[in-house]
Chain A
Amino acid sequence: MMRIFVVLLSVALFGAAKLPVEQTIAAAHRRLHFRAVDFDPGLREQIGQLGFIAGLSGFRALVADVLFVQAHVAWERTEWGRVLLLFRQVTTLQPRSLLFWDMAAWHMAWNASAAALRDSTQPRLALRIKAQREYFQLGKDFLERGIRNNPDRPQLYEALARLYRDKYNDHQHAAEFFHKAAVLPGAPSYAKRFAAYELSRCEGRESEAYDQLHALYAASNSERLPTLIRRLKDLEIKLDIPLNQRILDPAP
């Protein structure tokens, strides 16, 4: 009896001593974006009981991967509702995985939206276009939530910029997000260039775009790509840049 008491007392005392250590490490995890998932009843409803238990048992990434593979199969069968549902679950379970946010947005804004526009069961074009816009919005939502979960990584900013450029034809926002991607560590070298290209297509911001493109042109020979030279030449004409200040390269 005494031994049981000693053991229980030791466990409780050790428990009290370990609590602050566990709290400190848990706080460090949150600060460093580990364990970014809150296991609340909302998540349980989303991923089902089995997935919830598996997630709780430390197999969150594995469950997310299985659901990702299911989403892949649903995509092959063009079951767009199921693709959306599965990607919501996947991104909830693994919010730090850029691949899942990017793929979810791509499926919605590119694949599902194209399928909605060609939907032969819907004779009214207006409704097909409405459905297409809804899928664009779903793709944008995925990327915005992905950015909220990964504000320190450039890939999703870049994906959102592409979505604004290709789907909304919104060069202002595209330039903004390419620029946000370009200033983050690990950004691809073209992000800065793309930001300037998009800016050059914004009414009223040509002068700003010209300065950026010219700075890139002057920075290194490797930046003097045909598109950059073409955009610069167009802007020189549009902004009526004096001949002696224009670049010497011939128009590609």
Chain B
Amino acid sequence: MNRPVHRTFSFGRIAAITTNTFTELSRLKTFYVLLLFALLLIGNSFFMAQLTFQEEFQVLKDIALGSMSIFTSLLAVVATARLIPQDTEDRTIYTILAKPVARFEYLVGKLAGVLLLLAVSVLIMSALFFAVLKLREYTVLSETVRQMHASPPDQVAEALDAVRASSFSVSLLSGIGIIYVKACLLAALTLFVSTFATTTIFTTVVMVFVYFIGHLQAIAREYWLQANSAGWFTKVFLALVALLFPDLQLFNLVDDIVAGTAIPLALFAKTATLGLFYTGFYLLLAWTVFYRKEL
């Protein structure tokens, strides 16, 4: 009788772990609380936007995209930080790894589950955001038509075009895409930290520091690369920050997109590719630590 051939790498096994991880995470109360807060903030931006009587959409977009950024970053860290410690505590990890499942597959499956959850969250928030934006656009368009009913048609058309142009732009989609890529990066980095951390709290605290340092990395890098009179100790410190941490400021494009700066496709592609490289690299690092870890 022929025995089934065991493949060293199987998408089927990864898909099974991904599905389980996604189901498990989507049942977390934390997820719903965070999502609810994000949705409330996005919904609330509709009313906040009414504070301004010029360029009504700026405050709305700032708050909505800011909420999306905060929520996805938080969720990426909180959801990933508990994956390995929780599996260890529940003893699930022993059951899984006792089967012919490679540790790399286990890590890929776990990370993919988080990324799927993040993708679903971003889609839900984007849907609400665009609904609020369209609703606000509709209100402003109606008000503009009412206020300009006595003006010549070409002036009315110009005013309506201006309203439409300040409401939705393709760059918003790119901005949301970059928010997601940043969350993927943070999730992979959290997975790496959690492979050597002993508790979820430790991983989360480390990631909070990494998050802040990551946003300062650009300053450290530029100061280090500039020819200046800083002492060798400072230079070594700055070099370490620049080399060891990702530049998270590169992924903060939404602030300027909302302010009207268009994001070219090439820049979006470069930033997204860098983010995906980071994600892949931190996954490999996580595997390096995890593959011989005693469980």
Contacts and interface: CB of A to CB of B under 8 A. Distances in A.
A binds B: yes
Contacts of B288: 3, 6-7, 10
Contacts of A34: 253, 256, 261, 263
A115 interface: no
Contacts of B243: 11-12, 15-16, 19
Interface stretch (B21-29, B48-56, B198-206): B48-56
A30 to B, nearest CB: 11
B16 to A, nearest CB: 28
A85 interface: no
A96 interface: yes
Contacts of B244: 11-12, 15
A142 B277 CA distance: 42
Contacts of B52: 68, 72, 99, 103
Contacts of B260: 96-98, 153
Contacts of A127: none
Nearest to A12: B243
Interface stretch (A21-29, A169-177, A199-207): A21-29
Task: Summarize B's interface: helix, strand, loop or mixed.
Answer: helix
A59 B182 CA distance: 14
Q: How large is the interface on A (under 10, 10 to 19, 20 to 34, 35 or more residues)?
A: 35 or more
Interface in B110-158: 152, 154, 158
Q: How large is the interface on B (under 10, 10 to 19, 20 to 34, 35 or more residues)?
A: 35 or more
B221 interface: yes
A59 B70 contact: yes
A60 B274 contact: no
Interface in A1-47: 3, 6-7, 10-12, 14-16, 18-19, 21-26, 28-29, 32-36, 39
Residue with the highest number of chain A CB atoms closer than 10 Å, among B212, B222, B259, B278: B259
B270 A25 contact: yes
The 5 closest A-B pairs by CB, nearest first: A15-B243, A96-B259, A62-B66, A61-B255, A97-B259
Contact of A25 (B69, B158, B261, B271): B271
Interface of A: 3, 6-7, 10-12, 14-16, 18-19, 21-26, 28-29, 32-36, 39, 53, 56-62, 64-65, 68-69, 72, 94, 96-99, 102-103, 153, 188-189, 222
B292 interface: yes
Given A15-B244, A58-B69, 14 more contacts: A3-B289, A3-B292, A14-B281, A16-B243, A34-B256, A57-B212, A57-B215, A58-B251, A60-B252, A62-B62, A97-B58, A99-B55, A189-B154, A222-B154
Nearest to B293: A3
24 contacts: A10-B284, A12-B244, A18-B274, A18-B277, A21-B274, A25-B250, A25-B270, A26-B247, A28-B270, A29-B250, A33-B261, A34-B253, A35-B218, A35-B256, A36-B256, A57-B212, A59-B69, A60-B255, A61-B65, A69-B48, A72-B51, A94-B255, A96-B259, A99-B52
B252 A103 contact: no
Interface in B224-275: 225, 242-244, 246-256, 258-261, 263-264, 267, 270-271, 274
A22 B250 contact: yes
Contacts of B101: none
Residue with the highest number of chain A CB atoms closer than 10 Å, among B225, B248, B261: B261
A22 B261 contact: no
Contacts of A103: 52, 54
B63 interface: yes
Contacts of B249: 35, 58
A228 B289 CA distance: 76
Contact of A69 (B51, B218, B248): B51
B285 interface: yes
Nearest to B70: A59
Nearest to B212: A57
